[in-house]
Structure 1
Amino acid sequence: MNSKQMVSHGFGPVFDEDSKVLILGSFPSVKSREQSFYYGHPQNRFWKVMAAVLKAPLPVSIEEKKAFLIVNHIAVYDVIESCSIIGSSDSSIRDVTVTDLSGILKHSKVGSHIYANGAKAYDLYRKYTLPVTGIEAVKLPSTSPANAAWSLERLIGTWEKELRIAIKKDR
């Protein structure tokens, strides 16, 4: 896909009333849109990072991933509902329609625990969503394969450090 297309997100957030943490991406990759679920590119390290941070088995199927998020009180969504984009390139994103986070914020325990998966998600959140929510987000390094400068071990260490306070495992 080398041409710019207007694309809609295609699937909603994952959360429930016990979600304490909200992790926001920018917009789903081509692979994620094909699967209708988050972080679907096989090289994206999100699921490996989260499994390591939570010291849990790596979820594989979409149902396992949904259950993993819910049992660990994590909500996942994206900042953008629709946009013009070339393939999966965050740098090509234009003509943004922002997602409405009010449902998640009203019907969960997220409070101020909002994290952006990568600089683009963080920048978009600050530009479009922060003025609406008034809640600052924490910028985490992207788990995308495009972020080759960060090793898996370094990602795990940074994500664990930032999420440690917000994610308290009930064991």
Structure 2
Amino acid sequence: MENEKLIHPFKPVVFEDSEILILGTFPSIKSFENNFYYSHPRNQFWNILSIIFNDKKPENIREKIEFLKRHKIALWDAVCECVRKDGNSRDDNLEIIKPCNIENLLKTYKNIQKVAVTSRTAENVIKKHFKNSQFSILNSPLYLPSPSPLNARLKPDQKAEIWKKLLELT
């Protein structure tokens, strides 16, 4: 997976009643291996959502999809084509070729009211490629502190509190 063009391997997880779209940057190597979003065992994404919603942490793909549906969350990434310059999943190793067609997703799923990103790279991709979007929610995506194990300065419960506030979940 090093220095070759990579195409996003997953479709967005989205439902007719999804209200929040959470965008990562691009699937990690572990996510490629496990065939689903946020699959690195030390990534805090699923822990954070479990804390926010006071719900059991989903353990497998089926449970994760059901969890997202139950809480009206859509999941995708900002980048659909890139080159991974080094053999790791860090965002700074990605050479971005093409963003995902987020505007098309928002046209199709009209209940989505908020767009949030889980990395500064995803935020920058959105701001660069969708700065003149007809969708105002793309003009200023909500930045959620990264659930990556590389962002360990905040504990999952601290991140959950920030996410909950930013997403206006009570």
Q: Which amino acid aligns with 1:157?
A: E
| Whole-angstrom distance in 2 between the partners of 1:97 and 1:105 | 18
- Residue equivalent to 2:122: 121
Q: Displacement, 1:150?
A: 1.9
| Whole-angstrom distance in 2 between the partners of 1:54 and 1:163 | 12
Q: Displacement, 1:88?
A: 0.6
The Cα offsets for residues 125-164 of structure 1, whole Å up to 9 and x where unpaired, read as: 1112343344320111100011122222221111111123
The Cα offsets for residues 27-81 of structure 1, whole Å up to 9 and x where unpaired, read as: 0000111122100000000000001101111100101000110111100000000
Question: Which of 109, 112, 135 does residue 110 from structure 1 map onto?
Answer: 112
- Residue equivalent to 1:137: 141
Question: Which of 152, 156, 163 does residue 148 from structure 1 map onto?
Answer: 152
- Residue equivalent to 2:31: 32
| Contact kept? 2:6, 2:83, Cα under 8 Å | yes
| Contact kept? 1:29, 1:88, Cα under 8 Å | yes
Q: Which amino acid aligns with 1:4?
A: N
- 1:69 pairs with 2:63: no
| Whole-angstrom distance in 2 between the partners of 1:99 and 1:159 | 23
RMSD: 1.6
Q: Which amino acid aligns with 2:80?
A: E
- Residue equivalent to 1:58: 57
| Whole-angstrom distance in 1 between the partners of 2:128 and 2:82 | 15
| Contact kept? 1:16, 1:107, Cα under 8 Å | no
Q: For 2:4, what is the secondary structure of its paired residue?
A: strand
User: How many residue pairs were aligned?
Assistant: 164
Q: Displacement, 1:95?
A: 3.7
- 1:41 pairs with 2:40: yes
Q: For 1:47, what is the secondary structure of its paired residue?
A: helix
What are structure 2's unaligned runs of at least 5 residues?
none
Using structure 1 for the length normalisation, give the TM-score: 0.89
Using structure 2 for the length normalisation, give the TM-score: 0.89
| Contact kept? 1:16, 1:70, Cα under 8 Å | yes
| Contact kept? 2:51, 2:157, Cα under 8 Å | no
What are structure 1's unaligned runs of at least 5 residues?
none
